[in-house]
Structure formats: C-alpha cells, structure tokens
Structure 1
Amino acid sequence: MSQHTPSAFEHNTLEAEHVEHSLSLTGTFAMWLGANVVVTTILTGMLLVPNLSFLHAMLLVLLGSAIGIVPLVLIGVMGQRTGLTTMILARATFGRVGASMPAWVNLCVLVAWSWIQALLAGMSLDYAVESLTGYSNVALFTVLCEGLVVLITLRGHLGIETAEKIAALLMLALATVVFYALAHHYDLASITEVTAQGGLGNGIAFDIVIATAFSWIPLAADYNRHCKSVTAAVAGTWGGYVTATLIAMGLGATVSALSLSTGLEQTYDPTQLLSNFGFGLPAAFVIFFSVLTTNVMCVYSATLSYMSVRPSTPFWKPALIIGITSVLGSLIPGILDQFQNFLLIIGSLFIPAFALMIVDYFLIDRGRFTHQNLIAQAGRLPTFNPVAFFSYAVGAALAYYWNWVAPLSFGASLPVFVVTGLLYYVATRWQRRTRGMRA
C-alpha cells in the first residue's frame, strides 16, 4: 500500500506512526464544544419545543446527550490508542473490502451534513452583507463559504483545532449575550408555561437527541487520535459535547418557546431568528464562522473516509470534489425541512455499525486493531466478515422497524445498539468456538 506524505498544506495521514498528538484535555474540550455549539444543534432544540414542554425537552437533551455521547467517546478512545482513523479501524470488524461499506455510507452522510452546513453559512453571510450593503445572493455566498471550507480543510487537523477553539469562544460569547438580552427584554420564566402541542413522542424526541450525538461518531477517531492521553479523549470529548448540546439545544428551545409566547413566526433561518431579538448582524458573523468550522470537520473526515478506500489518492482531490458537491447539494429546495428525518436516518445507519466496532475492540479482540494489521499488512485481512454484515443487517432492520413501522415509546437507538452488539458478540464467540472444535 502506498503512503501519502503530507505537504505543508496537508497535515493529515492514514499512517499511525505519523500522527501528531496535539490535543490536550482543554483543546479536546474546546474542539468538541466548538463543533457542536452550532446552528444545526440549535435547530434541533427548536424541533423539540413546542412538541414538548421546555423542561421536558431539556431533560431529554441532558439524558440523550450524556448517554448518546458514550459510543462516540469509545470510538475516540480507539483512535487515541491506535492512532488510526475511524474507517481504517472498521477494517478489523468488517474486513479489508467490507470496510468500504461503512466508509461510503459515512462519506454520503457527511456530504449531506455539508449540504446543510454550506447553506446555513451562505444564509448567514448573505444576511450580514445585505444588512451592510443591500446586496443579496445566497447562492454566491454559499459558493464562497464552501471555497473557504476547502482551503481550511487542506490545512488538516491543526487548522481545524485552531478554528474550533475560536468558534467555541465566539459561540459561547454569543450564547451568553443572547441569554442575557432575552432575560432583560422578556420574561424567561414564561417559557416553562408553554403548553406542549404534541407531534413528537418521548421516544422520537429522545432518538433525535441521541442521533445528533451518533452523527459525530464517524469523526471521533479521526480527531481524537491526536489527543495526548486517554483522559483527554474521554473527559474532553464527553464534557465538551454535553456542555455544547445543553447550550445550543437550550438556546433553540428557549427562542422557540419565546417565539410562541410573543407571537413571532418560527423560522429555520438562524440570522432571521436572532434578528427578531436584535442580534441579526453580529449573530450572522458568529454563526457564519461556527458553521464554517463545523463544515470543515465534515469535509475533512469525508475525505479521510474516501482515502481509506482509495489510499493512493492525493488528499486535495476528494476534498475539492466534496466541497463542490456540498455547494450543489445546498441548492436543493427545502433541504432544511428534511432535517429531522435526516437525523433519524443517521441513527439507523450508524448505530448498528459502531456497536459492532465497539464490541469487537473492547470485548472480543483489540489485538487486531493495530497499524501493522490494518495498514502495513492489510492484504492479509479477511475480505469480508459475514458475521459483522449479518449483525449489521439485523440492527439496521430493527432500527427501521422501531423508528418508522412500530415506534418504541422509549426510542429505538439504545435497543438497537444493545441488540446489535449482543448479537455480534454471541455470533462471533460461537463462530470461533465452532472453528476451534473443527481444528
């Protein structure tokens, strides 16, 4: 397998021995905070209210984010210990060729995420420019934003880490100012009195929060392999994500409840949303930067996913193509209206796959998860792992059935994760025992 040596503009590699351990506990916390205090997470909070009461929604946010982030933390630990990207780690579970399946799925999902992020960034920049000059062109600003995303992506993880720290500070400052202004101009206590209107059951709402956490799992090892220690990978990721989710979804739920109590029209345009409270222009710039940096993470990991299948490809080529694809996808009419369904689909696709990888590493045989086995001598790996694909198919079918055909009152995410992992564990043990008896 040919190796790709990173240039001055490409601080990335699939090779574990070249990984730079640049993330401290504080840096990891800031990275996952900056990645998730973002408009899409705010929109998720808006989805929950008024379907649920404010206090009920925030309880589900706390529980869902605290529990949903655990698999992400575990995949991140795998990356930190091995120095390998998420989709390279998938080779140990799915096989040398079989791992291309989750890699392609991850690539498609991250591109879809990038569509949404590119549109939101373009909308925010358009609002700012129109406020200052009167000129408006969302499509043009979306193209400009995505061009900047590609340029930052080519700087690799070091550029992303720096950008996320800045994004974390900016979004924390914005959230603080917005909450202060809302408390100053409105009776915040009134949001607890907004009556739940139904539409989302507890199970679906809980699944949406967990699916938000699961949507980040494919990126976990890509970034946490750069952590200086396991403690930084665990505490930094868990703390940063849960804090970010409470802030962002809390802000979305708060503004949604206030919009209803004050008679304002709800909107998916974040700058228009905040302009109703007097923060349109400054919010536009901050939201633009935060969405930009999150989109960079999506494009970077999508590129690594492609390289795990085509390792000889120069990094800049898939990064550029994915950036162009993101612009085209962002122009799809009504894409934001499908945001809720998109989150549920992510859960259906990723929960079973990563349940298998976590069980494989932590309960079955972590010795297979090495650079030597998965990269240097990858040709010796089995082509496919039938047990993994069978378990995944069962898990995906259960996710579909329990999400859309016969929804569970307590949500499908955790049952699917547990059942899929347990099935894989039992089937793998049985397969090895059978082989041992034959030998």
Structure 2
Amino acid sequence: MFDTLARHFGQDSLAATDPSQRSLGLRGTAALWLGANVVVTTILTGMLLVPDLRFGQAMFIVLLGSALGILPLVLVGLMGQRSGLSTMVLARASYGVHGAKLPSLVNLVSLLAWSWIQALLAGMSLNYAVEATTGYSNLPLFTVLCETLVVLIALRGHLGIERVERWAAVGMLLLAGAVFYAMGRNFAFAELFAMPVEPRNEISAGVAFDIVIATAFSWIPLAADYNRHCRSQKAAAVGTWVGYVAATLLAMGLGAAVSGFSVLAGMQQTYDPAVLLAGFGFGLPAAIVVFLSVMTTNVMCVYSATLSYLNMRPQTRFWKPALAIGVLSILGSQIPGILDNFQNFLLIIGSVFIPAFAVMIADYFVIQRGSYLEADLLDPRGGRYRYLAGFNPAAFAAYALGAVLAYYWGWVAPLAFGASLPVFVLTAVFYVVLRKWVLVPRMQAA
C-alpha cells in the first residue's frame, strides 16, 4: 500500500540534477528565497531589536547584515548550481566521504529544531485567529494541523515546494503590504522612529548585527539543495540575493514595527501582527501572513533535513525519511518551553554553521578552483575525496578552531561588532593554510 502511495510522492535523490530538467529561473529563485525567509522566526527576530535599538538603526543593521550575511549562502548556492548536487553531498569534497556525515547529522538536528519552533509559532497564530473569530481555542491541535500540511507538501519533492513558494510569496507580499497599511492607519510611524531606546532583550548594535548574520548563515545548509535546480548562475546568485534581502527587510521590519507599536500602546511586547491589530478588526489577515510564512519555510526545512539524512543513508528512498522527519517535527512542536531560548538558539546556530561552511567555501573556490569531480563525490568510497579513511584532517582542524573562536567571541568575550564575520574569515584562511602547506592530504586517483 505504501509503495503505491509513494508513487505520488517526490522521487528526489542525491544524484546530480540534469541541466535540461532544471525548473528555477531568476524570478522563481527570488520567489523561493523570499517565501523562505518571510517567516515567523525572522519576524520574531525583528521583535528582539526594538526597543533595545532605535527603529531606524535596527533597519540599517538588518539591511547591512543581510546584504553581507547572504553572500556565503549565494556562494554555496552557486556550488549547487554548477554541480547539480545537494549541500551535504558537496560537503564530502572538503570533509571527506565519511567526514561529511557529521555536518549532515548536525544539519538534520538543527533543521528539526527549526521545524519545532516554527510549527509552534504557526499554531499559536492560527489558534489566535480562530479563537478571535469563533471563540474556539486548541493550540496543540492547530500546531499539529500546521505541521501535517508541511509534511504533505514536502513529500511532493522540490517541484511541489517550488509551486507552493511562488504563490505563497505573492500572497505574503500582498498581505504584508495590507498589514503595514493597517498599522499606518491605526498607529503613527513617526512615533516609532522617534521611540526612545529601552533595554529589554540585552541587544546591542553588535549583537543585533551578529543575530542578523547568524540568521543568514542558518540558511546556508539549504542553499545548494534548491539552487541545484536553477537554470543559470545568474538566476542562482541574483535571485537568491534579491529574494533573501527583500524578505529579511520585510520580515524583521514587520517584527520590529509590531514590537515598537505594542510597547508604545502599553501592551505586552509582541512580534505577532495578529495580536497588535486584532482590536482594529484586522487580526485574521495578519494571522494569515504568519501562517503562510511558516508553511513555506517549514516545508523547506523538512525537505533539506531529508536530504541530509540521505547523505548518511544514500540507499533510502526519499519518502521514508521525509515522512519520519515530519512525524518527529509534529511531536517536537509539543515540547513545553521551546521558545524560551530562541535568541540563544540563533547564536548557537551561527557558531555551528559559520566555521563549517567557511571550510566548504574556501575548499571549493580557493583549493579546488571552483570545480569538483561529481562522479567521485557520488562514489560511496569517495574517489579522490576519500582523504584519510574518509576524513579530511585539515577541514576538521580548521572547523575546531572556528568553533572555539565563535564560542569565545560570542559567549565569553563578545566582540562589539559581533563574531560571525571574523570567525568566517579566520576559519577560511586557517583552512587554506592547513590544506596547502601543513595537512596536505594524499589525493586518491580519480
């Protein structure tokens, strides 16, 4: 029965995508990444910035941080477009055919955590809207319903996701515009810009910049998974940059504005426009923005978590881990208190992924001069990327240094301008030095 049903699911695999079958142009790529990042967790991040910072200052930091932080994601996406391979298969070239299983496992766990948080936030927004409309409230039920829909879409594979993202991106833009219009009619944006600083979340300008950068870096593991379906390098690079930066400004701007207006109105601080505008009869449209944002992003998380699992167990059929991960996402969304440490979760994600992908980018663009042997990457034995029993010592040494620096500069002695960019640059440089002159691996025959 399951095999018959599985015929209707996506048949995605780790194999390189055929250039003639690629489905994403410039507009489709921009819509994909816009839909991905207009998400409730990004809106929640915007809430953390105001009133700790002035609204204008917060938006400048968001623009600068997202414009710079997205560049590594663009580079990894280009790696996927050129090779047709997923992110974690590409990691085999820098970490080794067996070494890449570690970042795959870390990515799988982190995407599960993202999915739990987003499912709960979506359930909260939908529950609020239904309760305000009908009086009925059941947060666990609405959370499960949201995540079940996510799983059904993810099981359709990348083509199903792309179709949903295009329409959802248009819907979110229209609804977000309506939400900003409603806020402008009921609140004064001049007061928001003049709002005095009030420390609430211990967010300095440097921490805010680091959080914005970390948000961008949290998307890197997904970059090649989707951009390997881009028709051209221009679509992969420009579409990703434009879609992501526009989405971050919109989502964090919405969260910061809602936060500021809720404080100015004497309400409990919130990120949710449905809560802010419910008293003005606009709560339901605002809740739909949050609901759609979670659907588009959470689908991508479940799909990429599935590809990470396949990198560890390549012989598994796509639908089996997709379904299992979806069930785990539904169960995890019921964990009490998972939102309590959201800010720390963002910084931990940055500490984990920044050095990991600094190594990957340095290996591809500096050591390998922008070219991998795709057949060897898909070889279970690793081919020339086998290194030392399937592990590249230089990659793990550089990653360890980067992780230590990220921890020290992020938690022990925080830098005024944030740790993300220094950690990325130093990890990449250290890897190049190690790989070229210290821990030079004996390459296997191609």
The TM-score bracket by the shorter chain reads over 0.9
Determine the structure 1 residue equivalent to 2:228.
225
Deviations 1:260-287 (A, max 9, x none): 2221221355532442553211222332
Determine the structure 1 residue equivalent to 2:294.
291
The Cα of 1:346 is off from its aligned counterpart by 0.4
Q: Note the 1:197-236 alignment, pairs <5 A.
A: 197-198=198-199, 199-236=202-239
Determine the structure 2 residue equivalent to 1:140.
141
Find out whether 1:315 has 2:322 as its counterpart.
Answer: no
Find out whether 1:391 has 2:394 as its counterpart.
Answer: no
Q: Note the 1:23-422 alignment, pairs <5 A.
A: 23-198=24-199, 199-267=202-270, 269=272, 271-366=274-369, 369-376=372-379, 378-380=381-383, 381-382=386-387, 383-422=390-429
CA–CA distance in structure 1, aligned partners of residues 299 and 257 of structure 2: 28
Determine the structure 1 residue equivalent to 2:14.
14
Aligned partner of 1:295: which letter? N
The Cα of 1:288 is off from its aligned counterpart by 1.4
Contact 1:120 1:269 in 2 (8 A): no
Determine the structure 1 residue equivalent to 2:3.
none
CA–CA distance in structure 1, aligned partners of residues 126 and 51 of structure 2: 29
The Cα of 1:123 is off from its aligned counterpart by 1.7
The Cα of 1:132 is off from its aligned counterpart by 3.8
The Cα of 1:195 is off from its aligned counterpart by 1.2
CA–CA distance in structure 2, aligned partners of residues 355 and 216 of structure 1: 14
CA–CA distance in structure 2, aligned partners of residues 297 and 277 of structure 1: 34
> Any idea what SS the aligned residue of 2:9 has?
coil
The Cα of 1:324 is off from its aligned counterpart by 1.6
Deviations 1:91-116 (A, max 9, x none): 00001111011000000000000001
Contact 1:149 1:296 in 2 (8 A): yes
CA–CA distance in structure 1, aligned partners of residues 361 and 344 of structure 2: 26
> Any idea what SS the aligned residue of 2:297 has?
helix
The Cα of 1:37 is off from its aligned counterpart by 1.2
Contact 2:153 2:161 in 1 (8 A): yes
CA–CA distance in structure 2, aligned partners of residues 287 and 220 of structure 1: 23
The Cα of 1:327 is off from its aligned counterpart by 1.8
Find out whether 1:424 has 2:431 as its counterpart.
Answer: yes
> Any idea what SS the aligned residue of 2:315 has?
coil
Deviations 1:306-346 (A, max 9, x none): 00010111212211221121122212222222111111000
CA–CA distance in structure 1, aligned partners of residues 98 and 303 of structure 2: 22
Cα gap change, 1:368 to 1:278, in 2 (>3 Å):
same
TM-score normalised according to structure 1 size:
0.94
Contact 1:145 1:292 in 2 (8 A): yes
The Cα of 1:234 is off from its aligned counterpart by 0.5
The Cα of 1:435 is off from its aligned counterpart by 7.2
Deviations 1:117-136 (A, max 9, x none): 11122222223333343322
Contact 1:182 1:277 in 2 (8 A): no
CA–CA distance in structure 1, aligned partners of residues 440 and 377 of structure 2: 24
Moved more, 124-133 or 219-228: 124-133
CA–CA distance in structure 2, aligned partners of residues 377 and 44 of structure 1: 40
Cα gap change, 1:350 to 1:336, in 2 (>3 Å):
same
> Any idea what SS the aligned residue of 1:335 has?
coil
- Identify unmatched segments of 5+ residues in structure 1: 1-5
> Any idea what SS the aligned residue of 1:369 has?
coil
The Cα of 1:376 is off from its aligned counterpart by 3.5
Q: Aligned-pair RMSD on alpha carbons?
A: 1.9
The Cα of 1:17 is off from its aligned counterpart by 4.4
CA–CA distance in structure 2, aligned partners of residues 277 and 250 of structure 1: 21
The Cα of 1:64 is off from its aligned counterpart by 0.3
Length, aligned pairs only: 431
Determine the structure 2 residue equivalent to 1:3.
none
Aligned partner of 2:127: which letter? D
Contact 2:49 2:208 in 1 (8 A): yes
The Cα of 1:394 is off from its aligned counterpart by 0.4
Aligned partner of 1:215: which letter? S
Moved more, 262-271 or 50-59: 262-271
Contact 1:92 1:368 in 2 (8 A): no
The Cα of 1:203 is off from its aligned counterpart by 1.6
Contact 1:98 1:385 in 2 (8 A): yes
TM-score normalised according to structure 2 size:
0.93
CA–CA distance in structure 2, aligned partners of residues 315 and 277 of structure 1: 46
Contact 1:123 1:269 in 2 (8 A): no
> Any idea what SS the aligned residue of 2:230 has?
coil
The Cα of 1:139 is off from its aligned counterpart by 0.8
CA–CA distance in structure 2, aligned partners of residues 250 and 67 of structure 1: 17
Deviations 1:165-187 (A, max 9, x none): 12211211121111112222221
CA–CA distance in structure 2, aligned partners of residues 291 and 96 of structure 1: 34
Percent identity of the aligned residues? Answer: 65
The Cα of 1:253 is off from its aligned counterpart by 1.0
CA–CA distance in structure 1, aligned partners of residues 138 and 380 of structure 2: 51
Cα gap change, 1:186 to 1:270, in 2 (>3 Å):
closer
The Cα of 1:359 is off from its aligned counterpart by 0.5
CA–CA distance in structure 1, aligned partners of residues 78 and 30 of structure 2: 14
> Any idea what SS the aligned residue of 2:341 has?
helix
CA–CA distance in structure 1, aligned partners of residues 272 and 329 of structure 2: 19
Contact 1:88 1:308 in 2 (8 A): yes
